[in-house]
Amino acid sequence: MSLLTPREILSAGAVIPVMAIHDLDTAVDLAHALVEGGIPTLEITLRTPVGLEAIRRIAKEVPDAIVGAGTVINPEQLQAVADAGAVFAISPGLHPTLAEAAADSSIPLIPGVATPSEVQLALEFGIDTLKLFPAEAVGGKAMLKALYGPYADVRFCPTGGITPATAPDYLALPNVLCVGGSWLTPKTAVQNRDWASITKLAQEAAALKTA
């Protein structure tokens, strides 16, 4: 897949599913189910032992997916996910060492921020497309509205505590490109390989963009 900008990545769908894959054998089918439902941008977290291999398999076998890595917290992980085929990386936070590594990386980093100072740190390194995390815990929509004043050119993917009921209000904000959520991949549905249910959840999430 050709190199996409962070804003193209986040604008491809209304919701980015935050996916902690425990069973590697479900990874490719799960990705196919989400893409079929209209959710192409996937965040595979490194919170599980098979996360990196899941990225590698999905990148190879699901060509229509925009595969990214989540929970990337240091330069070594950033390099590893790029080597595995991820086309973007998301981190829960930001520090100068990671920002410097991102400047030299072959894939874009979308770092997490929770305060104006962290937004300014990101901007200092030329990063203006961010993840607000943990969104609900740090003020949610009110925080995003407040940040829009001084940082009108910055765009966000709020993640953390967002539900199908609250997502439309976030998506209506001028500085929000999409939201992150874990509700698209219910553990029971994945364990049961109920891909039809996951595709239906993806279709409902994709429809939020035009709601």
- pLDDT number for residue 3: 84
Q: How big is the chain, counted in residues? A: 211
| C-alpha–C-alpha distance, residues 34 and 75, integer Å | 29
Active site residue 43: yes
Residue 142 within a domain: yes
- What total of structural domains would you count in the chain? 1
pLDDT tens per residue, range 112-131: 999 999 999 999 999 999 99
Residues 83 and 153: their CA atoms lie apart, in Å, by 31
- Please check whether residue 208 lies inside any domain of the structure: no
124 is catalytic: no
Q: Give pLDDT, residue 210.
A: 59
Catalytic hit among 8, 36, 43, 76: 43
The verdict on residue 81 lying in a domain is yes
CATH of the domain at 117: 3.20.20.70
pLDDT score at 2: 53
Structure tokens at 143: 């925080």
Domain that holds residue 100: 6-201
From 8, 100, 118, 131, active-site residue: 131
Are 127 and 153 in contact by the 8 Å Cβ rule? The answer is no
H or E stretch including 34? helix 27-36
Q: For 62-121, write each residue's pLDDT tens digit.
A: 999 999 999 999 999 999 999 999 999 999 999 999 999 999 999 999 999 999 999 999
Strands (E), 105-206: 109-113, 129-132, 155-156, 179-181
Q: Residue 21 — φ and ψ, nearest 5°?
A: -90, 125
Could you give the dihedral angle defined by the CA atoms of residues 63, 83, 128 and 139, in that order, rounded to the nearest 10 degrees? 80
160 belongs to a structural domain: yes
Average pLDDT, the chain: 96
